[in-house]
Amino acid sequence: MSKNFTTCLLVFFILMITGKEVFSQFPPPAGYPGTTAIYKDSSIIIGWARSCEVNRGYIDISDTSKTFNGSNKASYGNVFMTIDTADNFVLSLGDGGTAILEFDAPIGNGPGFDFAVFENSFSDDFLELAFVEVSSDGNRFVRFPAVSLTPEYPQTSTFGITDATKIHNFAGKYRALYGTPFDLEDLKDSTGIDVNHIIQVRFVDVIGCVQTPYATYDSQGHKVNDPWPTPFDTGGFDLDAVAVIHYSAESMIEIADYINVFLYPNPVNDKLIIVTKSSKQIRCSIHDLTGKSLAGFSFCGKSIMDISPYLSGVYIAKFQYPDGYTITKKIIKN
């Protein structure tokens, strides 16, 4: 057997046993050539989530007696943080926690990516991940085929790093204010789902622990390894926002008169300008994050609101049309 032939066999064997790391690389972080990251102000974004329900997970699923600030579950943020534009105000899910978001209208399978998910990572390689699932009826959810090529061992430490090029179809792949996009075409052959009529998107925190009793697995059977444990109120995946890139075709006709409500400047110091393209009389109500109503008024076309007396923080504006249709927006007061 020639030396060259032996060398070729050795190389082939190495590539076979390490193939998933060598060949299966995915798009790089935001700002690098070939990335799929979508900035929060991208012109392809046409809408945002309007409501959220959450089921928090433990701060440490391996020791449910462990607490942080008096709670054994993640507690940072609230559901109002996830509506409207990505802004780095987040909801923490904890180990295995879930969140379900709804939208102004069903999302549809258009050309290319259909929605994007925003997390709040402070860097390109501290990545806390979540599985993404969608539903057409609110009962059956179908999960995107996510792949993690991060080595299963050693365990990624609490503030350890993850290579984005080894992550595919997980929310949390990109740093804060850059969304990870998802294409419903990936699910077109799934049963029990209409990819042209998605009414809910669900996120399931990737626990990230590689110990078998607590491990989660990707679509190829790999254990998913991400920072763990994260025994804080901010533990687990931190959901910022979900952007809509394509509503379903019928939805666009139905909601054309509703989706064009604009608030600026936002963040705002004193005068908030509210503009809508609708010619209808709209009722606006302002709420704090507990749901308490702070103000209410009606307007048509344009209104200027003085919010200088308000304390700095996040507020919720609800716009109700004469037919009962409601849109929710977030106001950030400096």
Answer yes or no: is 6 within a domain: no
Single-letter residue type at 153 = Y
27: domain range?
22-256
Q: Kindly state the average pLDDT of the residues 316-334.
A: 92
This prediction's pTM: 0.89
pLDDT-derived band at 111, boundaries 50, 70, 90: very high
Verify that 235 and 263 share a domain, yes or no.
no
pLDDT-derived band at 258, boundaries 50, 70, 90: confident
Verify that 249 and 271 share a domain, yes or no.
no
Q: How many domains does the chain have?
A: 2
**Residue 12 pLDDT:** 41
Per-residue pLDDT of 76-103, as tens digits, reads 999 999 999 999 999 999 999 999 999 9
Coil, helix or strand for 15?
Answer: helix
Nearest to 175 by CA among 218, 117, 219, 257: 117
How far is the C-alpha of 138 from the C-alpha of 135, rounded, in Å?
Answer: 6
How many CB atoms neighbour CB 102 within 10 A?
18
The residues near 328 (Cβ < 8 Å, ≥ 6 apart) are 50, 51, 83, 84, 316, 317, 318, 319
Verify that 328 and 193 share a domain, yes or no.
no
Verify that 246 and 303 share a domain, yes or no.
no
Answer yes or no: is 14 within a domain: no
Q: Which of 208, 237, 256 is the last residue of a domain?
A: 256
Verify that 192 and 204 share a domain, yes or no.
yes
Q: Which of 202, 234, 256 is the last residue of a domain?
A: 256
Q: Which of 256, 281, 308 is the last residue of a domain?
A: 256
Verify that 79 and 130 share a domain, yes or no.
yes
How far is the C-alpha of 205 from the C-alpha of 171, rounded, in Å?
Answer: 9
Answer yes or no: is 175 within a domain: yes
The residues near 54 (Cβ < 8 Å, ≥ 6 apart) are 79, 91, 93, 97, 98, 99, 100
Answer yes or no: is 9 within a domain: no
pLDDT-derived band at 157, boundaries 50, 70, 90: very high
Verify that 193 and 314 share a domain, yes or no.
no
Please check the confidence at residue 15 and state whether its pLDDT lies above 80.
no
Verify that 207 and 297 share a domain, yes or no.
no
Question: Residue 151: is the preceding peptide bond cis (ω within 30°)?
Answer: no
Verify that 102 and 215 share a domain, yes or no.
yes
Verify that 273 and 251 share a domain, yes or no.
no
Per-residue pLDDT of 201-255, as tens digits, reads 999 999 999 999 999 999 999 999 999 999 999 999 999 999 999 999 888 767 7
The residues near 48 (Cβ < 8 Å, ≥ 6 apart) are 83, 84, 85, 103, 241, 242, 243, 244
Verify that 249 and 133 share a domain, yes or no.
yes
Q: What is the CATH number of the domain that holds 277?
A: 2.60.40.1930
**Residue 6 pLDDT:** 46
How far is the C-alpha of 153 from the C-alpha of 170, rounded, in Å?
Answer: 19
Verify that 35 and 88 share a domain, yes or no.
yes
